[in-house]
């Protein structure tokens, strides 16, 4: 890698290396060198361990009500080769990976090699800048995936997600206020409004109070920007 390319890569990563030899090594696949010790395989091995530790710690701290099985499921999804490869592609890193001639057109470039590249970069950042630098990088580039894991876990239980947000942010529990009810006793509909730290959010109707509260919680999460592009409140049924 020449100076210009190294600068481009650092800009994409959002991290400036003190030792750019580490950066160049992270982008060198074993197929491009005669001695595999000069490839990114060792960095990939190291980065994989760091990634797992950071993600596990983040899940443990963020999702305080997850059981072991829930944590394992979320962690497996986040550190999977598929997800790592997707993030590498989103960052536009594949084009800089140095591979042997026989690998240039390989489908693995968009799969396992991309995943290994991201892990090698994590290892290189750790060695170059320490644990905090690698942790900050991981949490930044995995932010959307972590949010999605949260959404998937709480999908259909938006009250739990809103309660977690409210308690972490304001140390308060959300309040649900009944605004209106219509219909005969055997077929009533209820309108409920969610309130977080004194802020009122869009109300929602439901065929029972529980359903209305779920939909009201969904509206609050959307307004807060926690849930995006999920659809309308019908999904909270």
pLDDT on residue 47? 98
pLDDT on residue 126? 98
Domains of the chain: 3-151 (1.10.1520.10), 156-236 (3.30.160.20)
pLDDT on residue 133? 98
Q: What's this model's pTM, rounded to 2 decimal places? A: 0.66
d(CA 15, CA 134): 9
Return the ∠ at Cα 62 (arms to 60 and 67), rounded to 5°.
50
Residues involved in catalysis: 48, 119
118, two tokens: 């991201």
Residue position matching structure tokens 């190291």: 46
pLDDT on residue 152? 66
What are the pLDDT digits (tens) for 40-94? 999 999 999 999 999 999 999 887 767 888 789 889 989 999 999 999 999 999 8
- Sign for the pseudo-dihedral over CA of 148, 40, 95, 93: positive
pLDDT on residue 14? 96
> Which one, of 171, 167, 164, lies nearest residue 66 by Cα?
164
pLDDT on residue 232? 39
pLDDT on residue 148? 76
pLDDT on residue 228? 55
Question: CA Rg, the chain, in Å?
Answer: 23
pLDDT on residue 70? 79
Helix 68-78 to helix 143-154 angle (10° resolution) is: 140
d(CA 229, CA 116): 30
Helix 158-170 to helix 209-224 angle (10° resolution) is: 50
Residue position matching structure tokens 């909270």: 236
Torsion of CA 83, 84, 90, 91, to 10 degrees: 160
In order along its 237 residues, the chain shows pLDDT tens digits of: 888 999 999 999 999 999 999 999 999 999 899 999 999 999 999 999 999 999 999 999 887 767 888 789 889 989 999 999 999 999 999 889 998 877 665 555 667 899 999 999 999 999 999 999 999 999 999 998 887 777 666 655 788 889 888 998 999 999 999 999 998 887 889 999 999 999 999 999 998 998 899 899 989 998 998 875 343 334 443
């Amino acid at each position: 890698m020449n100076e210009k390319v190294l600068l481009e890569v650092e800009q994409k990563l959002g991290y400036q290396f003190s030792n750019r030899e580490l950066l160049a090594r992270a982008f060198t696949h074993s197929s491009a060198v005669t001695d595999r010790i000069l490839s990114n395989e060792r960095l990939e091995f190291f980065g994989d361990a760091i990634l797992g530790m950071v993600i596990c710690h983040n899940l443990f701290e963020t999702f305080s009500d997850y059981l072991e099985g829930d944590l394992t499921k979320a962690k497996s999804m986040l550190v999977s080769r598929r997800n790592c490869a997707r993030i590498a592609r989103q960052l536009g890193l594949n084009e800089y990976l140095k591979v042997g001639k026989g690998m240039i057109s390989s489908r693995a470039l968009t799969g396992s090699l991309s995943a290994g590249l991201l892990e090698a970069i994590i290892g290189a950042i750790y060695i170059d800048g320490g644990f905090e630098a690698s942790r900050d990088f991981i949490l930044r580039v995995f932010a959307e995936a972590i949010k999605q894991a949260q959404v998937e876990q709480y999908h259909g239980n938006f009250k739990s997600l809103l309660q977690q947000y409210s308690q972490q942010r304001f140390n308060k529990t959300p309040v649900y206020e009944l605004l209106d009810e219509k219909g005969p006793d055997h077929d009533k509909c209820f309108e409920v409004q969610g309130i977080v730290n004194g802020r009122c959010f869009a109300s929602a109707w439901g065929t029972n109070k529980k359903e209305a509260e779920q939909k009201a919680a969904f509206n609050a999460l959307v307004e807060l920007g926690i849930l995006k592009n999920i659809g309308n409140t019908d999904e909270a049924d």
